[in-house]
Structure 1
């Protein structure tokens, strides 16, 4: 991999410093002390940033964030979305595994589908962007895999209808599975065929005789009628920003294959998460 330019790092250090201290003005001496580069180099870089409008020099020989940088920040803020990064990852997953990949964002007691990507063989599947799916146990496990038990209990207390003891236990076991493997997966129940093009059961589930079972164990040597695999995308605070669900997988696969697909989905979520959870500008 080619090495990046030291000059780029120095410019970034200066911009990060000002971004971390918005509304404040600093002298050349203060900037030098904070970013720890030579006075001559810092003066050259500050002068150049002023010329292009990224910084502004005040009459008292102090510097503040410039108008161009302010305009850029407003533009980025208005159009920035993790889905910009998620879309190509979702497309790759859908095409590679001949399924449907949806991005689900939790809003209160619901999960809202914000984006979907479908392989050619799954163009008719439901859950279009904007679909609102009730979030119910046990399929809420992926959203609470790293949450404190008190938070999970508070959510369960408000679920209607109330989950059974078995559903609660299954969800907590699935949370442990998600912590270990980084994903959850579901299979079609014994004697059940793949449902009609309808994905509401992915996040809601049927309270009695569900067509899909959320699994809590994985046997590499076993065989599974795989229905879906889901994994979380974490934000900077290690909270679930949203989930990716790869579904429409209506074939039997080995446990080793489930693990391979799950790892692929988790890796995609990790790459998206590195964008979502990008560290803020470092303060001095």
Structure 2
């Protein structure tokens, strides 16, 4: 008779889930997603084959976390999922879509400015590089899709922060010693339309980034280039800023943001 090993990383029998509790919760969630109008607890227990008391515990937890709601009709309670599920998945969908949508603009920036170009999105207090177009030449910079850095240390992150509503910006300022000064810096970034990071992360390296917006007019991420400080100064800065801002606007339009709403 075969026995399962309890050691870490040991295979688990295919006939039984590694975590029955998680399996039941996902079964309830999937069943509710696939049902129009909602289900009573009795109907949900019957549809999933899960005991009524367990179903009740699961849907009450989902309700508390915002993933389910109930509609009371007479003495019956009908449970259904909420758009919280979409909210949970949206950042992943958006990152995937943005990488594809922005690819032509990234390629143009890298080729025209001969600098690597990047797309960044905000994830908590970090900005994550989700796409990159390399530049011609032997010198490359330590940037790659998946790299995460504090939002305030990069042009990509700061230009996103500059366009966040106050409710989203406030948590990012918690713990900062000079939040008023930082807010003032972000106001200047918002006025310029782009942010510059000059030798703040690495000596003789500078970055420039501009924001792009989604169909609801919310900042969805940023696009920028990385080069040597001498390349992003004077006339070089003006040229790069103009091109990066224009390409950011193109990405916004592709994401459904009407130019008249934001620019």
Question: Structure 1 length as normaliser, TM-score?
Answer: 0.50
Where does 1:1-284 land on structure 2 (aligned, <5 Å)?
Answer: 81-121=97-137, 124-136=140-152, 140-157=157-174, 162-165=175-178, 168-188=179-199, 201=201, 211=202, 227-252=206-231, 254-277=233-256
In the alignment, the residues of structure 2 paired with residue 253 and residue 116 of structure 1 have an alpha-carbon distance, to the nearest angstrom, of 19
Query: Unaligned stretches of 5+ in structure 1?
Result: 1-76, 190-200, 202-210, 213-224, 280-284
Which structure shows the higher helix fraction?
Answer: 2
Alpha-carbon distance, 1:275 to partner: 0.8
Change (3 A) 1:122 1:152: farther
Query: Unaligned stretches of 5+ in structure 2?
Result: 1-92, 259-263
Bigger relative contact order, structure 1 or 2, given CA contacts below 8 A and separation 6+? 1
SS in 2 for 1:121: coil
In the alignment, the residues of structure 1 paired with residue 168 and residue 97 of structure 2 have an alpha-carbon distance, to the nearest angstrom, of 27
Q: Deviations over 1:81-124 (max 9, x none)?
A: 23223112111111222211111111222222111011122663
SS in 1 for 2:97: coil
Alpha-carbon distance, 1:163 to partner: 2.6
Report if aligned partners of 2:206, 2:232 keep a CA contact under 8 Å in 1. Answer: no
Change (3 A) 1:264 1:122: farther
RMSD value, Cα: 3.1
Alpha-carbon distance, 1:177 to partner: 2.1
Which portions of structure 1, spanning 4 or more consecutive aligned residues, are displaced by more than 4 angstroms? Answer: none
Report if aligned partners of 2:195, 2:209 keep a CA contact under 8 Å in 1. Answer: yes
Q: Deviations over 1:6-39 (max 9, x none)?
A: xxxxxxxxxxxxxxxxxxxxxxxxxxxxxxxxxx
Report if aligned partners of 1:90, 1:101 keep a CA contact under 8 Å in 2. Answer: yes
Change (3 A) 1:273 1:138: closer
Aligned length: 166
Report if aligned partners of 1:138, 1:170 keep a CA contact under 8 Å in 2. Answer: no
In the alignment, the residues of structure 2 paired with residue 113 and residue 137 of structure 1 have an alpha-carbon distance, to the nearest angstrom, of 13
Question: Structure 2 length as normaliser, TM-score?
Answer: 0.54
